[in-house]
Amino acid sequence: MAQARPKFNVLETGSPRYVQARREAISRSIYLGVAVSYSSDGKFDWACSSYDGCEFVGHEDTFSASTTITRAGQLKQLNDNIIKTVRDYAVSHNYRIQAVCVGCDEKTAAIVAEHPDLKDPIREMCTRFWFDLDAAPCVYTLRGVSLNEEAASAARKVYDWFTPQFPGSIPRIAVDPATNEVLVDMDGHCHMVDLSHFEDTTDKPTWDRLLALADECKRRKLKILFFNSTPQGGGVALMRHATIRLMRLLGVDCRWFVAKPNPDVFVITKRKFHNVFQGVTDDEQYRLLPEDKKLWVEWCEQNFDNYWGEGKGVVDSADVIIMDDPQVSAIIPRIRKLNPTARIIYRSHIEVRADLASVPGSMQHALWDFLWSGFISHSDLFISHPVAGFIPPRVPHSKVALMPAATDELDGLNKKMTPADIEYYRRVFNRCAEDQGSPGIAADRPYIIQIARFDPAKGIPDVIEAYRNFRAQLAAKGTPAEQHPQLVLCGHGSIDDPDGTVIYDQVIDMLAKPAYSPYAKDICVARLPASDQLLCAVLRGSFCALQLSHREGFEVKVTESLAKYKPVIAYRSGGIPLQIEDGKTGILIERGNTQGVADALLRLFSDTNYYQAFVDELRTKAQDSKRQQFFTPFQSVNWLYLATQLAYKGSGGEIAAKAQPVAQDIEGTYMGNGDVRSWGARYVREFWQGASA
């Protein structure tokens, strides 16, 4: 048994200079390694090593649990002891624990393997680091001549797995170089949540259906694949990380693959696919040219041949394949040729201007004709956001089903945070803003926020104009300037989005104009690093949220704002009106009406009872139930239901899609332009909610 040593030293904190520095400083990032050893006499030896990239600080201790309880109970007591010790250490030293590697040697691992009741407490220790300390936890088997050496090794390992310059516990994105499979959560080593956490956030009928469908997938040994262009940045990647995380916990064989990035191709897919489909540009320079088509098709086919084709054990063994958007859709014919029995689902998550795509000669018409006739038409099912106006021409209504985008309640974007967490990330945000020459968020003023990529469809100029108008109205009422709310404009970037820098520069230029420069000192503009908790914290600290997108598929930031009980003022664009109950959970304004946005902001800010009514409504159980369909477990039910219905394997050689969508009009399908009409499409949820479990 290792000799017990004193706990981490506590710094002297009486100096006024020290106190002032602590108020302003960003906590220093550290990474922990925790090594645990269990002895037959009921004692646990554990060691912890903190590492900041330069030096180690070690702590070693022996914990004697109660001998009157089970070994699983003893481990839970150890969890309490470890969490308290490292929390006290971090607070006393003004450290921020970004990540933790928890492990044991092979001997202790063997004991755990022999006693299944010990596994859950060890996993619980990891999840407690995530939820209690906001530190991303990893699990590993350790080697060393002592516990201290094992702990130091674990600390170095977790430091290497994360990105130290980005506060917020985001592991480096791991991609298998042989197949370009995204190895979510460091290929499972990063363990943040258990099934019990998902179950606690999901209503029982949905959860029971999820477990039943997962069991069917495992019984039939179905293999489900997702394909898209990038593993990080944007809503598709966020959803896939969460989906794979849950599927792994369920034991479902579900994998996710991305293309090898090519910046020249991404210029085409963003500006000549995405922006053209949304109708945010009518410049003929963005019309798809023959050389663009050739470059894009060659890129897709090279990715297929190099990573996913014959002999790679990827596409040839798959049962259901989901293509997320057009970026890699040129591989669909090759999938068909290699694996004719695979069922292919094409998911369209952007707003496609079906009205423009129906006009012969338009850029949208030419683009859609190229993509549909050569590639997407080979799919078995077309999944769209629940907006009829997004369904392009020539897509048979019998092949269409509707599914909204989702977010995850338990990841860094949405999990609950303490006031100390929010304050830490406010300081991190201010450091990012300062580095970009922008003012930061004041600690003593409310602020309005729009979180979005710097994209031409997101309506950022409208946000600034509405804020100017709102501030002018406050001044006219005599409200002191120091009491006026600030405005925060921020978002992440994406490797397949070349527009981010262009739009960011346009925003900075706009703030220099005479009409807006008086307010520039209160407008915080920042392109943020890939830190989910950073976005979560600044949204949680806000007064209300804006989403003034001119074109929008289905905005998960609206869902995330409402889930944090923030009223949302948004344009009546795309799928957003399906997310907001006007006058109850938010306020819908006609697209381009910045005066209406300013008036709505003024009333929310000036009328406390009016504002509180929104917050109270958002906290109701009824609203929580409605939001379920926009979270990971509910959407996973959708995917597993489609997989079990479409896949051949285990269905007796017959097509299993008995409940595949048919042409049946549903009243009130939203068009995306303020109109509603009957249209032949149904939500995926309608099929499984009406079917027996």
pLDDT score recorded for residue 617: 97
Phi, psi of 472 (to 5 degrees): -65, -40
pLDDT score recorded for residue 444: 92
Q: What is the pLDDT of residues 311-327, one digit of tens each?
A: 999 999 999 999 998 99
Assign 449 a pLDDT band (cuts: 50, 70, 90): very high
pLDDT score recorded for residue 310: 92
Query: Terminal CA-to-CA distance of the chain, rounded, Å?
Result: 53
Q: Does pLDDT of 693 surpass 60?
A: no
Identify the top-confidence range among 278-282, 498-502, 633-637, 683-687: 633-637
Domain boundaries defined on the chain: 16-187, 195-406+633-689, 419-630
Instruction: State mean pLDDT over 564-593.
Output: 94
Task: Classify residue 107 by burial, with Cβ atoms within 10 Å: 0-12, 13-18, 19+.
Answer: exposed
Please name the helix (run of DSSP H) or strand (run of DSSP E) that holds residue 683, with its range, or none: strand 682-683
What single-letter DSSP state applies at residue 481?
G
pLDDT score recorded for residue 170: 67
Q: What is the pLDDT of residues 378-399, one digit of tens each?
A: 999 999 988 877 888 888 878 8
Domains 16-187 and 419-630 share a fold: no
Give percent of the chain above pLDDT 70.
88
pLDDT score recorded for residue 442: 95
Q: Beta 665-670 vs 676-680: how paired, if at all?
A: antiparallel
> How many alpha carbons lie under 13 Å from residue 666 in its C-beta half-sphere?
18
pLDDT score recorded for residue 679: 56
Q: Does domain 419-630 have CATH number 3.20.20.450?
A: no
Assign 496 a pLDDT band (cuts: 50, 70, 90): low
What single-letter DSSP state applies at residue 171?
B
pLDDT score recorded for residue 662: 37
Assign 21 a pLDDT band (cuts: 50, 70, 90): low
- The set of residues, in sequence order, having a beta carbon less than 8 Å from that of 338 and lying 6+ positions away, is 309, 310, 315, 316
Q: Does pLDDT of 3 surpass 60?
A: no
pLDDT score recorded for residue 292: 95
Q: Does pLDDT of 492 surpass 90?
A: no
Query: How far apart (Å, rounded) are the C-alpha atoms in residues 147 and 33?
Result: 10
pLDDT score recorded for residue 485: 97
pLDDT score recorded for residue 281: 78
Q: What is the pLDDT of residues 26-35, one digit of tens each?
A: 888 889 999 8
Q: Does domain 16-187 have CATH number 1.10.1070?
A: no
pLDDT score recorded for residue 169: 59
pLDDT score recorded for residue 36: 85
Q: What is the pLDDT of residues 162-194, one digit of tens each?
A: 766 555 556 778 899 999 999 999 888 899 999
Token pair of 482, please?
Answer: 């120091």
Instruction: State mean pLDDT over 115-144.
Output: 84
Phi, psi of 126 (to 5 degrees): -65, -50
Q: What is the pLDDT of residues 201-217, one digit of tens each?
A: 999 999 999 999 999 99
What single-letter DSSP state applies at residue 211?
H
Instruction: State mean pLDDT over 74-101.
Output: 88
Please name the CATH architecture into which domain 195-406+633-689 falls.
3-Layer(aba) Sandwich (3.40)
Q: Give the sheet arrangement for strand 28-38, strand by strand.
A: 56-64, 43-51, 28-38, 95-104, 136-141
Question: Closest by alpha carbon to 601, among 461, 470, 462, 449?
Answer: 470
State whether residue 31 is helix, strand or coil.
strand
Q: Return the number of other C-beta atoms located less than 10 Å from residue 190's C-beta.
A: 24
CA dihedral 373, 374, 377, 383 (to 10 degrees): -110
Answer whether 46's CB lies under 8 Å from 78's CB.
yes
Question: Closest by alpha carbon to 647, among 209, 336, 222, 333?
Answer: 222
Query: How far apart (Å, rounded) are the C-alpha atoms in residues 162 and 44?
Result: 29
Q: Does pLDDT of 646 surpass 60?
A: yes
Q: What is the pLDDT of residues 39-63, one digit of tens each?
A: 666 677 888 888 887 777 777 776 7
Mean pLDDT of the chain: 86
Angle between helix 119-133 and helix 71-93 axes, rounded to 10 deg: 20
Query: How far apart (Å, rounded) are the C-alpha atoms in residues 271 and 498?
Result: 8
Q: What is the pLDDT of residues 323-370, one digit of tens each?
A: 998 999 999 999 999 999 999 999 998 878 888 888 899 999 999 999
pLDDT score recorded for residue 19: 56
